[in-house]
Amino acid sequence: MTSSAFPARTSGRRFHFLFNRAWQALWVLPLPAWLLLFFAVPLGLLVAISFWSVVNYRLTPDATLSAWRYVLGLDFLWASFWRSYGLSMASAVAISLLAFPASYAMAFVAAPRQRLILLGLAIAPFFTSYLVRIYSWQVFLTEGGVISSVIQAFGGKGESLLNTYFALFLGHATLALPVVLIMQTIALANVDRTGISAAANLGARPGAILFRIILPAARPGLTLGLLFAFLLSYAEFVSASYLGGGTFQTLPILVTDLVRAGQQWPRAAVVSLLMIASLLITAFVTVLWAYREKG
């Protein structure tokens, strides 16, 4: 009797245990599934395509290094690479600096309810298409456009601002500023207030509080904001072609040129892989720095 009861209880416990495990697995499963579906497989495909060839405008599976040889042999490749990298890094730094006072005000001056409303307003531009927002910048920046008319009214020359770095930067900022605002605000809002009060009570000046208490504490969030601004600007194609007018030849423009001209998908894949590699290195270094232990 008893001997038969024991196995039943253990099997029930085991079932329970297994059920728990399965239940957990079910919830964890999306992570590897998504990673596989949206990261590993496309990346693998991109790597594979970079070894394919194009025969009569048709992408043909192959195992050739010709696309790699072609792209790495381009004499302007590294000039374009550093131009892309430098321009987007400059934009990322400028956007972060520009966003900081606003984020600071939202985190420390605004009441929580106001902060919510202000953050909502910061997200509002996402409700219109990015392409539309970029096109509308053209109306402001072009010769005889809104900005140049205003400058002319005050006696200036009022030349077109299109195809300048300023125009390109506006495009980058249109894309990245809201994201940076949100990330910075969250980072600053989460800084421990007791540290700030203690410093103030001990007579620290506002500058010292900012640089020695707030900035170090919010560093991970602020750095991630910078990183996101960089990622978004680096891969940006629309404002590079419509506001930069192709004057600033960046890698995303090179990718589209390679595809358009003779359907050179393998070469475009090589450039994309170069971009992904440089992004990964940048992201890795930045994250390491953001979370490094205070020395």
Residue numbers of the site for another protein (CB under 8 A)?
56-58, 74-76, 79-80, 138, 142-145, 160, 162-163, 242, 244-247, 249, 253-254, 257-258, 260-263
SS3 58: strand
Residue with structure tokens 């048709």?
A: 58
Least Å distance between CB 246 and another protein? 3
Measured from the Cβ of residue 175, the count of other Cβ atoms closer than 10 Å reads 23
Least Å distance between CB 61 and another protein? 14
**Alpha carbon of 89 to those of 78, 84, 92, 183: distances in Å?**
16, 8, 5, 18
Q: What is the spatial distance between Cα 182 and Cα 161, in angstroms, rounded to a whole number? A: 29
Toward another protein, which CB reaches closer, 161 or 188? 161
Toward another protein, which CB reaches closer, 20 or 256? 256
**Residue 3 amino acid letter:** S
Toward another protein, which CB reaches closer, 225 or 266? 266
Q: What is the spatial distance between Cα 197 and Cα 203, in angstroms, rounded to a whole number? A: 10
Least Å distance between CB 54 and another protein? 9
User: 283 with 223: CB under 8 angstroms?
Assistant: no
Toward another protein, which CB reaches closer, 263 or 286? 263
Toward another protein, which CB reaches closer, 74 or 217? 74
What phi and psi values does residue 55 have, to the nearest 5 degrees?
A: -115, 120
Least Å distance between CB 293 and another protein? 43
Least Å distance between CB 132 and another protein? 14
